[in-house]
Amino acid sequence: MTTYDEVFTRVLSGDLDTIIQNRQGEWDREEIFGKKDEAGRNVLAAASLLGRSAIVRELVSHGARVNEQTVRGYSSLHLAACWGHVDTVRSLLELGANIQATTFRGERPVDLARKYSKTGCVDCLTLAEAKQDLMSYIVFIKDMVSHSERNLTNEEKNFCLRVCSTKSDWIQSFKNPTLWDFTAQRKDIEDSLQYILTKLSAQPADMPAKGENV
């Protein structure tokens, strides 16, 4: 049976091949992913801190929890960001890492990246936040117009939903968007739906906070 010590040693040495080979064997997942070092970091956190992107993906595929945090609130994304491992930051984001997770000091991953002047990670996380904001805004609009008590015609509702669907498709299909692209897409929604949003403004709804997950 593959143990914590074996996996942790392979993480430290960057030995992805052996970890993959051990995939066929039996893993004590509770021990491997639950045990922590003296600093409270598990094997995924250690791999992230060292920038072992391929190992990070392998560990998550085995059941490592991407958003687990230390006692002081540091997630794997925090550690990758503050050490400047851009590729690992991207990998963790693709695996569902929470960009809004905070440490005991209230610092998000992007805050740590700024603190330690890790410009590449700052850019990557800022872009991810812009994407999340646009997605949250689309969900907010769809929820608003879907409520039966809203005073909208069917034509207005359908138009709103078409605009949202178009923007959702854009998020999925547009390659290498910039921060400006996400900002422009949100403004386009606001401009396209200005009349309808004005009509709804007299009927308050809970707008998601900037950067809030949906």
**Whether residue 43 sits in one domain with residue 112:** yes
**Whether residue 166 sits in one domain with residue 190:** yes
Which SS3 state, helix, strand or coil, does residue 199 take?
Answer: helix
- The CATH number given to whatever domain includes residue 37 is 1.25.40.20
Q: Give 199's pLDDT tier (boundaries 50, 70, 90).
A: confident
**Whether residue 92 sits in one domain with residue 19:** yes
How many residues can be counted in the chain?
A: 214
**Whether residue 81 sits in one domain with residue 68:** yes
| Average pLDDT, rounded, for the chain | 87
**Whether residue 163 sits in one domain with residue 75:** no
Average pLDDT rounded to a whole number, residues 169-182: 95
Q: Has residue 130 got a pLDDT over 80?
A: yes
Q: How many CA atoms lie within 13 A of 190 on its CB side?
A: 9
pLDDT on residue 13: 84
**Whether residue 157 sits in one domain with residue 103:** no
Give the H or E element holding residue 109.
helix 109-115
Q: What is the DSSP letter of 153?
A: -
**Whether residue 139 sits in one domain with residue 113:** no
Task: Tell me how many domains the chain contains.
Answer: 2
Q: Establish if 71 belongs to a structural domain.
A: yes
- Which residue range forms the structural domain that includes residue 183? 122-200
The pLDDT tens digits of the residues spanning 93-124 come to: 999 999 999 999 999 999 999 999 999 999 99
Distance CA 98, CA 118 (A): 19
**Whether residue 186 sits in one domain with residue 93:** no
- The CATH number given to whatever domain includes residue 177 is 1.20.1270.10
Q: Has residue 67 got a pLDDT over 70?
A: yes
| Residue that finishes a domain, picked among 117, 134, 161 | 117
Decide if 139 contacts 160 (C-beta within 8 A).
no
Q: Give 26's pLDDT tier (boundaries 50, 70, 90).
A: low
- Look up residue 135 and give its two tokens: 């997605």
**Burial class of residue 154 in the structure, from the number of CB atoms within 10 Å of its CB (0-12 exposed, 13-18 middle, 19+ buried):** exposed
pLDDT on residue 89: 98
**Whether residue 142 sits in one domain with residue 111:** no
| Residue that finishes a domain, picked among 61, 82, 117 | 117
**Whether residue 91 sits in one domain with residue 26:** yes
The pLDDT tens digits of the residues spanning 27-57 come to: 767 777 877 777 778 899 999 999 999 999 9
Q: Is 65 left (phi over 0), alpha (psi -120 to 50) or beta?
A: beta
Q: Establish if 152 belongs to a structural domain.
A: yes
Residue recorded with tokens 């995939």: 23
Q: Any idea of the CA torsion for 185, 191, 193, 194, to the nearest 10 degrees? A: 150
Q: Establish if 28 belongs to a structural domain.
A: yes
pTM, 2 dp: 0.82
| Residue that finishes a domain, picked among 102, 117, 132 | 117
Q: Establish if 209 belongs to a structural domain.
A: no
